[in-house]
Amino acid sequence: MSADMDKTTSQQQAEAMIALHATQGAQQPQGEQPSHEELALLLDGRLSFIRRKEVMSHINANTDLFSHWVSLVEAKSILNETTENKLNLLQHLQQWLNPTRLGFIGTALAAITTVAIVLPLLDESAMISPQQPRSTPDYANSGNMQLETAVQEGIVLTYINYSEELKQALPINKRLSKQTIPEPSTLSTLNPLAIQFGETLLESYRSCQQAGLKSAHLQQNKIKQLLIALKLPDWPEAKDPATYCKQVDKEINNWIE
């Protein structure tokens, strides 16, 4: 059927099918029916020799279990492939960045840096056209976006890293579990605002717990108070805590059921 199926031939395929049919039902499954954990152990290669044989006997005898086993094998293969691809990319990059290329890249970078520093010093006025003033960032819009991102990341960060007690306080939200969740590798580089927000949430929760206040609404009020007190560095919207908290309140209502 498939010529390149790991060099197996039709003859071998036929032999295997005959053999499987001939030996089907020759032996009864041995031992207890395997649990999910034992399937995981088999996949990880951590079952004892005897139990391994027993679990295999059940897999061979039970079509549902065999189907589950194959799905598991395929899932592992799919997930491993992603990891391997990332590793391969790094390996290719390492191979590409040999000492000769590194030397060349270093020289080029040094030259570019020199030009970038020296040119503005030579003629700063020439760099700015009188007709076209230096553009300023759109703080209003970018601020809102930053806020939204920060609030979402902050809640997620809190969920992931901060406290089991807080996870219980904020019920699992499907939207939260499926959207805007940063990769663990990016957590350390998260917006500082998000980290502050996460810490504030936790602090707020603890304060509410100590005061015997458990409802999400009261927690939100407390969070709002704490956010007002928060000094946000170099962020235009921070000068307007009311707007900030209104937005936060809206976001929290969106996220917390």
Partner 1 sequence: MDIDWAGLVLQPQWLTRLDKLALKRFTQQGLAEEASTYVLDKLSADNWACCQQYAGNAKAETYVLTLTTHLLEEFSRKRFGRVRPPEWLKREGELWIRTWKMICMERQATTSVIDQLTNSAIRSTEFVQGIITIIKARLPWCGQSAREIPANEDANIDNTTEAFHSNTKQTLETALDHDQLEDALLLVHQLLLSDDCPSEQDKDTHNMHYTAEQWQQLREHLSLDEEERLLLKMVYQQGLKLKVVAAALNMPDYQPGRLLKAIHQRIRDSLQAAKIQLEVLQ
Distance in angstroms (rounded) separating the CA atoms of residues 143 and 245: 13
Quick one: 27 or 114, whose CB is closer to partner 1?
A: 27
If one asks whether residue 88 binds partner 1 (CB under 8 A), the answer comes out as no
Quick one: 63 or 95, whose CB is closer to partner 1?
A: 63
161: Cβ contacts below 8 Å, ≥ 6 apart = 187, 198
Candidates 42-50, 204-212, 215-223, 232-240 — which segment interacts with partner 1 by CB under 8 A? 42-50
- Residues 111-150 vs partner 1: string with x where CB under 8 A? ----------------------------------------
Q: How far is the CB of 239 from partner 1 (least distance, A)?
A: 33
Candidates 74-82, 99-107, 198-206, 233-241 — which segment interacts with partner 1 by CB under 8 A? 74-82
**Cα–Cα distances in Å, from 25 out to 29, 50, 58, 63, 239?**
9, 20, 11, 13, 77
Distance in angstroms (rounded) separating the CA atoms of residues 51 and 55: 6
Quick one: 23 or 107, whose CB is closer to partner 1?
A: 23
Candidates 133-141, 152-160, 224-232, 236-244 — which segment interacts with partner 1 by CB under 8 A? 152-160
User: Which letter does DSSP use for residue 164 in this model?
Assistant: H
Spatial contact of 42 and 52, defined as CB atoms under 8 Å apart: yes
**Cα–Cα distances in Å, from 218 out to 97, 199, 221, 248, 253?**
56, 17, 5, 14, 12
Quick one: 190 or 226, whose CB is closer to partner 1?
A: 190
Of 152, 154, 158, 159, which one interacts with partner 1 (CB under 8 A)?
A: 159
Q: How far is the CB of 144 from partner 1 (least distance, A)?
A: 24
Q: Is 71 helix (H, G, I), strand (E, B) or coil?
A: helix
Q: How far is the CB of 168 from partner 1 (least distance, A)?
A: 9
Candidates 73-81, 117-125, 206-214, 224-232 — which segment interacts with partner 1 by CB under 8 A? 73-81
Would you mind telling me the total number of residues written for the chain in this entry?
257
Of 125, 145, 182, 202, which one interacts with partner 1 (CB under 8 A)?
A: 182
**Cα–Cα distances in Å, from 164 out to 167, 204, 210?**
5, 14, 16
Footprint of partner 1 on residues 212-241 (CB under 8 A)? none
Spatial contact of 198 and 155, defined as CB atoms under 8 Å apart: yes
Quick one: 72 or 216, whose CB is closer to partner 1?
A: 72
51: Cβ contacts below 8 Å, ≥ 6 apart = 31, 38
If one asks whether residue 17 binds partner 1 (CB under 8 A), the answer comes out as yes
